[in-house]
């Protein structure tokens, strides 16, 4: 299975409850190179606040194993791409019986689809966009492959990709913009919100942020307010 986000969590949970990968020769391989963000928690239901910052694939596999201790699952933190074919090599692909795609970008979908066509492996292709979802079953020599379909071009870049694995020029631009906003826009807005209504701000901070994240955010607000005071006195 490629991807351990919203769909990947549901798949690995279903595998555990259905007994997939629990037989003598069974094994589930799960890979995702992203880490868990607090913004993932509202839709990736295997993750909790204490998992923030940890690997998605490793955490999802650990939680799924808690549902069914007979589940044999191996977690990877490696991107599935041409540059990682030393890991996902010919023997690896040939050992698979079935592939599930649960990734968040078209480039990765096309690559996995091409690998499945080459090695003649059945593929369950799926994806989500807001409240919409799609699935496609690809059977070698019997159905249309994903690469033959016509998906619209992507306009948005997943934030987890930008933070943890920026590999295109567009990713680096977005990464720089995100850091600029965090340093000069978001913190100033947080400080303004805090001074206008501290009670409401702190309540929202407790609800939406981990304790360590809240502490860091409050420290940054304190620095901005001290700087403002020193500027006012001067």
CB 62, CB 50: distance < 8 Å:
no
Alpha helix (H) ranges present in 37-168? 56-67, 90-95, 106-119, 159-164
Is residue 160 among the annotated active site residues?
Answer: yes
Gap between the terminal Cα atoms of the chain: 60
Alpha carbon distance 220, 85 (integer Å): 43
What are the distances in angstroms from CA 121 to CA 33, 109, 182, 215? 23, 14, 44, 49
Alpha carbon distance 37, 39 (integer Å): 5
Alpha carbon distance 208, 205 (integer Å): 5
3-state SS, residue 2: strand
User: Phi/psi at 58 (nearest 5 deg)?
Assistant: -65, -40
* From 30, 61, 116, 160, the catalytic residue: 160
List residues with catalytic annotation.
Answer: 160
């Amino acid at each position: 299975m490629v991807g351990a986000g919203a769909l990947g969590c549901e798949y690995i949970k279903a595998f555990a409850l259905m007994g997939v990968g629990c037989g003598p020769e069974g094994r589930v391989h799960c890979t995702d190179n992203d880490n868990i963000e607090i913004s993932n928690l509202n839709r990736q239901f295997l993750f909790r606040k204490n998992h923030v910052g940890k690997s998605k694939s490793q955490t999802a596999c650990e939680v799924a194993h808690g549902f069914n201790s007979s589940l044999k699952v191996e977690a990877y933190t490696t991107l599935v791409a041409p540059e990682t074919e030393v890991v996902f090599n010919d023997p690896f692909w040939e050992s698979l019986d079935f592939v599930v795609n649960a990734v968040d970008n078209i480039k990765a979908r096309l690559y996995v689809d091409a690998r499945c066509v080459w090695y003649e492996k059945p593929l369950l292709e799926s994806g989500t966009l807001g409240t919409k979802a799609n699935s496609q079953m690809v059977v070698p020599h019997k159905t249309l492959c994903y690469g033959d379909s016509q998906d619209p071009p992507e306009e948005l870049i997943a934030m987890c990709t930008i933070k943890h694995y920026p590999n295109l020029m567009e990713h680096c631009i977005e990464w720089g913009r995100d850091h600029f906003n965090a340093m000069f826009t978001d913190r100033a807005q947080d400080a303004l919100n805090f001074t206008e209504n501290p009670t409401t701000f702190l309540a929202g901070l407790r609800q939406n942020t981990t304790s360590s994240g809240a502490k860091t955010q409050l420290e940054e607000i304190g620095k901005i307010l001290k700087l403002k005071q020193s500027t006012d006195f001067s």
